[in-house]
A and B are shown apart, each in its own frame.
Chain A
Amino acid sequence: MLAYIRDAKLVIAVKTTKLDANATMYASKKNLSVTYNATSIIITPDGYNQQFINRIKANVPSHLRVWDHSHKRWIFHPTTYRIISNMLENLRQMGFNVIIEQAEFFANASNYVPVIKEETLDIHYIGRVYRRNNSEESAYGWYNDGWNVVFINNALQDYFKVSTTSVDATNYYNALIVNETATHDQIKRAYRVVVKQWHPDICSEPNAREQFEIIQKAYETLISPDKRARYDLGLKLERDFNLLASKGKINNTNYDTNEVVFNPMIKCGRFTVRSERIIGRVYVHQILDIDSITNASGQVMTTTWKEGDSVFTTRWV
């Protein structure tokens, strides 16, 4: 008992000491070590500090920063150097000790030149396009067990040929993600890729059935030379007319000014892209090609995210 009590006292004592120690630790975690390399700005705090974290989140857009768990440090995109510079100055005034490890930090950061190369990535899911903190629109892709790919919206729009006129909202070429000069074989190949992703038995996306029907109709039209010729005539005439109407040269009671909601037709695949690797992520500047991901049995990967689920599901078909 005494021993227990003694032990209890010891425990309490230890705990108290530990609490005091922690309080001291938190109060003193105001040292920031800043370094710069060719592709990032790194800030290593000497411990957890809520003030510092708040500053980061308020000032730096989420897609331009990442927390490196293994090294307990923040990594920032070099284009944020002005933001970081201002932020560090503010933190100094708040009593933080900012240690610049790399003297040429600010000078070099302004000379950052992106290194863009072509690569192929197996992306298991592309999320929706969102507007980020700095009003840039982008979508994240699941790659290498994390949301490690960022698609700039322009890259997605250029590839999926999104337009703001209604004539292109139901454009059959867009539905199959092919150019309007696509050959017969290219149309066939594109159909095989897209139809598997959107089959209602496999796909749980909210608009799966509607997309599937458009894909079917698109294929039936574009695979027949006669129907395709008729369709091309319709596309051209409608576009020409809308163009004149948009310039006010023709009164058109049917001119459609509705914006199209962007809906990428491919949710997963083997993407060939032109990209830049930065702060541990892949930034996609341009999509060159998309193919299916297949397994050893020749099955094709499809992924879908049902509304209400916390994660996407994968199926092989």
Chain B
Amino acid sequence: MNSYYMNKYDHKKVPAKGSVTDVASDRKIPLSQVIMEAEAVILVDTSGSMSAYDGMPKTRYERSVDALEYYQKQISGKILVLSFSEETIFCPNGYPAYQGGSTNMVEALVYAKIADNVPDMNIILISDGEPNNMLDTLDVAKTFKNKINTVFIGPEDSRAGADFLRKLSEATGGQHTTDYRAANIKKSLGAMLLLEG
């Protein structure tokens, strides 16, 4: 496996404020019991392309993490963060582990399927590109009972990626937002979490 960490988002740091780990530690209860109260599962693409700066001070990955940090503080203990690239990893500390590999979205959705058993779980997928296997990804998405909402944060010249995510959310009755180069990722994510207008 590749290194999981990028610079200041190393897991050795304290958990993000409002992450499930932070809440579990604060309330002195098992992690599993905090997870029971979660309302959203956010699958974050941490493939190699997420290290692109897009002419901005921070990478797409870092901008996504900043947005996650912000909303976990807003709604403590309600967000489950999963990082996906080659593998899918649950990150209870609130920071999606950076993997830097390919975009294995099929495995991400298969992993997230257990969350689909929870009625009305808000499943949000953030990605900047097309997955390894589009057809298989759509097939898995169609088995979901809950909606999958998607946010595309790739470049403008990657329309195929945006179109794919739109198709994926439509297959489940979910919403899609195209946010080129994650320029407004905080607002886009907020809208998906129903916290922003």
Interface residues of A (CB under 8 A from B): 166-167, 170, 221, 226-227, 229-238, 240-241, 244, 249-254
Contact = CB atoms under 8 A, between A and B. Distances in A.
Interface of B: 1, 4, 10-12, 14-15, 21, 24-25, 30-38, 80, 89-93, 97, 114-115, 117-119
Contacts of B14: 253
Interface centre among A230, A236, A241, A249 (most CB of B within 10 A): A230
Nearest to A237: B90
Given A237-B35, A238-B32, A254-B31, A229 B117 contact: yes
B35 A234 contact: yes
Contacts of B80: 237
Contacts of A238: 30-32, 35, 92
A249 B4 contact: yes
Contacts, number: 79
B36 A233 contact: yes
Nearest to A229: B117
A252 B117 CA distance: 27
Given A232-B114, A238-B30, 15 more contacts: A170-B32, A229-B119, A230-B35, A231-B32, A233-B114, A234-B31, A236-B114, A237-B31, A237-B90, A238-B35, A241-B31, A250-B4, A251-B12, A252-B11, A253-B15
Contacts of B93: 252-254
A245 B118 CA distance: 26
Contacts of A237: 31-32, 35, 80, 90, 92
A252 B94 CA distance: 12
Where chain A touches its partner, the secondary structure class is helix
Contacts of A167: 30-32
B89 A250 contact: yes
A232 B119 CA distance: 13
Contacts of A241: 31, 90-92
Which of A227, A238, A252 has the largest number of chain B CB atoms within 10 A?
A238
A166 B97 CA distance: 23
A229 B89 contact: no
Contacts of A231: 32, 36
A253 to B, nearest CB: 7
A277 to B, nearest CB: 42
Contacts of B25: 254
B117 A254 contact: no
A238 B38 CA distance: 13
A241 B89 CA distance: 8
B11 A251 contact: yes
A145 B90 CA distance: 53
A244 B91 CA distance: 11
